[in-house]
Amino acid sequence: MANKETLNNVLITGENSYASVEDSIGRLILKPQLHQRGWWIFFFIGLAGTGLLGVSITWLVYQGVGIWGNNQPVSWAFDIVNFVWWIGIGHAGTLISAILLLFKQQWRNSINRFAEAMTIFAVMCAGLYPLLHTGRPWVAIFWLFPYPNIMGMWPQFRSALEWDVFAVSTYFTISLVFWFMGLIPDFATMRDRSRNKFGKIAFAILSLGWRGSNQHWHRYEQANMLLAGLSTPLVLSVHTIVSYDFAISTVIGWNVTVFPPYFVAGAVFAGFAMVMNFLIPVRAYYGLKDLVTIRHIDWMCKILLATGMIVFYGYILEVFYGFYSGNVFETALTKDWRFNGPYSGYYWALILCNGIIPQLFWIPKMRTNLLVVWLVSFVVGIGMWLERFVIIPISLTNNYLPASNKMYYPTMWDFMMFGGTIGFFIFLMMLFLRFLPAINIFEMKDLLHKVINDESKVEPTVEAMNSKMNPTPAKEEVPA
C-alpha cells in the first residue's frame, strides 16, 4: 500500500458525484468479482477461526472450564481478559456513531458504518466469554436474567456481574438497532441498484419499505438522534460497569477507584486502533481512498494519542497508589508482581505498547504514514490485551495470604478460543464487506452535497462546513 498520501482537510477527495459515491460503495456488494483473492484468503482464515471457535466451545461445554489454565486462586484469566478486550474494541463504533453524531462531526460519516459493524461483532465475541466461562453455562444462560419462577428466586442485584449482564445485553441491543436503522436508507439504495433478483428481494425486505419520502427522512433523523442519545451514555456506562467487575472487589490490584474512566478511555483507545487495523487495508484494497481520506486517519491518530495518554495516566496512578497507599499488599503487587517477578515482562511490554509507542503520533508525519499508523494500531491492540492480562490474572496470582500465591499458565485451549473469536470476528467482517454497504452511502452523499454547494467554491474544509452548518462549531470535540 501507498504509505504516503497528501494531507488536506478535504473529507471527500477525487472527482466524485452522487452516482460515483453510490457506485464506489455499492459495487462492493453488487460486483462479486471485486472481491478477489485477498477477500477469499481472509474469508477462509475467518472461516477456519470460526471452526476453531466451534471446536473449542464444544470441547469446553463437554469437558468443563478445566480445559483452560484457570486455577485457584486465578479463577479468571484469559476468559475475562478476552471479554474485556473485545468489549473495549466495540467502543470505538459507538463513540463514532453516537457521540460524534451528537457533536455533528461530519468526518465520522465515512467510518461510522464500519466501526458500528465492528462494535456488533466485537460484542458478539465478547458476549461468548461471560457465559462460557461459567462452570455451568446451561443454567447460567437464564439464571442470570430476572425471570419469574416458582422458587421466587431472583438474581443477586448487588453483584457487578449482574450489572454486567444488563450493561452488555443493553449495549448489544441498542448498537444492533442503531446500526440496522442506519442501514435502512442504504438498503433501499441497494434494492434499487440491485439487478439480481435475490439481492432485490433481500434488500427489499431489509429496507422495510423505505421510499425516501420527506416523512421517512424526518422520522429517520429523529429516531437516529434519539438512538444516538441513548447510545451515548452506554459508551460510558458499559465499560464503567465492566470495570466495576474489578473495582468493587477486595482483590489487590482490582480495587482501584480510577478504573471506570481509565477503562472507558482504554476501550476507546483499543477500539480506534482496531478500526484502523481494518480500515487501512480495506480502503487500500477496495479503492475507498477518496471517501476515507488521510485526514480521517490523521484525526483518528489524534484520538488514539489522547485516549492513550489517559490510559497511560491510569498506569501512572496505579503505581502511585501502590506506594502512596502505604498498603503493603498494594506495594507488594506493584513491586513484586508488576515491576519485578515472573510476569514483569508483560507489565513492561504493556507500558511500551500503550504508553511509549503511541507517543509517535505527536509527530504529524507519523500520523500520515499508513504503515506506521497500522503498526502502532496493531501494537496498541496487543497493549490493550496485555493491560487486561496484567490487571486480571496477575492481580489474582498475588494474594493477601502469600501461601495461596500461585502462578497462572494458559493452555492450548485458552489460545484456541481466543484465536477462534478473532477468526469469528474476521469472518463476520468479511461477510459485512461482501454483503452490506461498508460506508454509509446516504451520509456520504449528504456530505458531498454540502461540499459541492459550498459557496466559496474552493476546496471545502471541515472548518468551512462547520461554520456553514453550525455558527459555533463544537471545536472542543475535535482532537487537538
Partner 1 sequence: MEANDGMEKKEDAVELTEQKPAANGGLDIDAIQAKLAGKSGKHYWQSLDEIADTKEFRKWMDDEFPNRSTLLTMNRRDLLKFMGASMALAGLAGCRGVFLPQDKVIPYVKQPEELVPGVPLYYASSIPLAGFGMGVLVEQHEGRPTKIEGNPLHPGSLGALDVFSQAEILGLYDPDRARSVINNGDVSTWELFNKNATKLLAGAKKIAVLTGAVTSPTMLAQLKAFKAAHPNTTWYGYEPQDRSNVINGLQTSSGQPLEPIFDFTKANVVISLDSSFLSPEEQPGALKYARDFASKRRVVGLTGEMSRVYAFESTPTLVGIMADHRWAVKSSAIAGIAGAIAEALGIGMIRSAVPQNVNRSHFSAMMEDIRAAGSSAVVVAGPHQPAEVHAVVAAINAAIQSAAVRYISPVNASYTAAGIGELKDALAGGSIDVLLVVGGNPAFDAPGDVEFEKNAKLAKHVIYLGRDQNETAALAEWALPMTHPLEEWGDLRAFDGSVSIIQPLIAPLFEGRSAIEVLSSLSGKPIAGYDILKGYWQQAGMPGTGEFEARWRDFVHDGVIKNSAFVPKTVSNLKTPAELPLDDTTIEINFRPDPTIFDGRFANNGWLQELPAPVTKLTWDNAAIMSMSTAKKLGLTHEDVINLEVGDRSVKIGVFLQPGQADDSIVVNYGYGRTVGGAVATASTNGGVPDPTEGGGVNVFGLRTLSSLNSASGVKITKLNERAQLVTTQGHRPLQSERIVDERDILREVTIQQFLRDPEEVVPEFAFPEEEIKKNNLYVEEVFEWNGPQWGMTIDLNTCIGCNACVTACQAENNIPVVGKQQVANGREMHWIRIDRYYKGDDVNPQVTWQPLMCVHCEKAPCEPVCPVAATVHSHEGLNQMIYNRCVGTRYCSNNCPYKVRRFNYLNYSDNQPNFMTKVRPIAAVLGNTTEERQNGIQLVKMLNNPDVTVRGRGIMEKCTYCVQRINDARKESKKAGRDLKDGEIITACEQACPTQSIVFGNIADKESRVSKLRNDPRAWLLLEELQTRPRTSHLAKLRNPNPEITPIPEPKPKKAKHGEEHGSEGHAEGEAHKEEAHKEESHSEGQTGTVKTEAAHGE
Which residue lies nearer to partner 1 by CB, 156 or 472? 156
Strands (E), 256-403: none
Residue 73: CB minimum distance to partner 1, A:
5
Instruction: Tell me if 140 contacts partner 1 by CB under 8 A.
Output: yes
Those residues with Cβ within 8 angstroms of residue 217's Cβ, 6 or more apart along the chain or in another chain: none
Range in contact with partner 1 (rule: CB under 8 A) among 66-74, 94-102, 170-178, 295-303: 66-74
By CB under 8 A, is residue 72 in contact with partner 1? yes
Alpha helices in 95-111 (DSSP H): 100-102
Q: Which among 31-39, 327-335, 368-376, 468-476 is the span making contact with partner 1, rule CB under 8 A?
A: 327-335
Q: Which one of residues 63, 149, 196, 222 is an interface residue with partner 1 (CB under 8 A)? A: 63
Rounded to 5 degrees, φ, ψ at 86 are -65, -45
Q: Which is nearer to partner 1, 32 or 64 (CB)?
A: 64
150 binds partner 1 per the rule CB under 8 A:
no
Looking only at residues 75 through 134 of this chain, which bind partner 1 when binding is defined by CB under 8 A?
A: 75-76, 133-134
Is the CB of residue 326 less than 8 Å from the CB of residue 388? no
Query: According to DSSP H, which parts of 158-258 are helical?
Result: 160-193, 197-206, 214-247
Listed ranges 98-106, 185-193, 247-255, 434-442: which one lies at the site for partner 1 (CB under 8 A): 247-255
- Select 292 or 333, whichever has its Cβ closest to partner 1: 333
Beta-carbon count within 10 A of 422 CB = 18
Contact residue for partner 1 among 200, 406, 434, 468 (CB under 8 A): 406
Task: Select from 438, 314, 420 the least CA-distant residue to 24.
Answer: 438
If one asks whether residue 324 binds partner 1 (CB under 8 A), the answer comes out as no
- Output 276 or 333, the one with its CB closest to partner 1: 333
Site membership for partner 1, residue 65 (CB under 8 A):
yes
d(CA 271, CA 81): 15
Q: Does 272 bind partner 1 (CB under 8 A)?
A: no
331 to 350, contacts with partner 1 by CB under 8 A? 332, 336, 341
Q: Give the range of 21-29, 74-82, 362-370, 466-474 binding partner 1 by CB under 8 A.
A: 74-82
Angle at which helices 197-206 and 160-193 cross, to 10°: 130
| Per-residue three-class SS string for 309-337 | HHHHHHHHHHHHHHHHCCCHHHHHHHHHH
Q: Mark the segment that binds partner 1 (CB under 8 A) among 276-284, 366-374, 401-409, 442-450.
A: 401-409
- Smallest gap from Cβ 411 to partner 1, in A, equals 9
Q: Is 359 in the site for partner 1 (CB under 8 A)?
A: no
Residue 167 contacts by C-beta under 8 Å, 6 or more apart in sequence?
Answer: 234, 237, 238, 241, 242
Q: How far is the CB of 169 from partner 1 (least distance, A)?
A: 13
Figure out which of the listed residues 37, 197, 215, 401 binds partner 1, where binding follows CB under 8 A: 401
CA geometry: angle 400, 405, 406, nearest 5 deg: 155
Q: CA 182 → CA 30, 43, 363, distances in Å?
A: 20, 25, 36
Name the minimum Å distance from CB 163 to partner 1: 9
Task: Using the rule CB under 8 A, give the single segment among 228-236, 243-251, 299-307, 419-427 that binds partner 1.
Answer: 243-251
Alpha-carbon distance 465 to 478, whole Å?
14
From the list 234, 301, 269, 237, the residue with the least C-alpha distance to 386 is: 269
Q: How far apart are CA 50 and CA 101, in angstroms?
A: 33
DSSP string covering 61-75, please? HHH-GGGSS--SS--
Candidates 71-79, 94-102, 189-197, 222-230; binding stretch for partner 1 (CB under 8 A): 71-79
CB 351 within 8 A of CB 316: no
Region from 115-123, 167-175, 246-254, 301-309 binding partner 1, contact rule CB under 8 A = 246-254
Q: Which is nearer to partner 1, 133 or 296 (CB)?
A: 133
Residue type at position 326: G
- Residue 453 binds to partner 1 (criterion: CB under 8 A): no
Q: Per CB under 8 A, does 412 bind partner 1?
A: no
Q: How many CB atoms lie within 10 A of CB 458?
A: 8
Which positions from 153 through 172 interact with partner 1, judged by CB under 8 A? 153-156, 158-162, 165
Interface pick for partner 1 out of 26, 46, 49, 69 (rule CB under 8 A)? 69
57 lies in the site for partner 1, by CB under 8 A: no
Count CA within 13 A, CB hemisphere, residue 394: 26
Q: Which is nearer to partner 1, 152 or 209 (CB)?
A: 152
C-alpha cell at 358: 503511541
Rule CB under 8 A: which residues touch partner 1?
A: 63-67, 69-76, 133-137, 139-140, 143-144, 153-156, 158-162, 165, 245, 248-251, 328-329, 332, 336, 341, 396, 399-407, 409
